[in-house]
Amino acid sequence: MVGLAHVGALREGPILEVEAVLVTSLLFTLAVGARISRQSVSRRDWGAAALVVVGLVLFLGAGDPHGDVPVVTVRTWVTVGLAAVADT
């Protein structure tokens, strides 16, 4: 069912926005899941959530050209790629 909603969202909106919402839902799932199961979220999980936020910011920054820049530059992709590799 979620897959169908995702496909429908991609038909209506830009992939950049749809994927950002999808990734953000992971953060809410972490918090809600911990609350429902009455378990605390570990420091490691909070760290992973913080990395997800950083990755999302980089994704949105690199994927949304504006002004007189019609496309994302190679330099931007290399910077984002290096940041992703550094996180692993």
Identify the CA nearest to 62 among candidates 47, 83, 86, 38.
Answer: 83
pLDDT given for residue 68 in this prediction: 60
CA distance 4 to 16: 18
Rg of the chain on CA atoms, in Å? 16
pLDDT given for residue 7 in this prediction: 66
Identify the CA nearest to 65 among candidates 9, 19, 14, 8.
Answer: 14
Checking if the pLDDT of 37 tops 90, the result is yes
The boundaries of the domain holding residue 17 are 2-87
Residue 11's alpha-carbon distances to 3, 7, 56, in angstroms, are 13, 6, 21
4-26 residue pLDDT tens: 665 676 677 676 777 777 788 88
68-79 residue pLDDT tens: 655 666 777 777
Report, as an integer, the average pLDDT of 45-62.
85
Q: Looking at the 3D structure of the chain, how many domains does it have?
A: 1
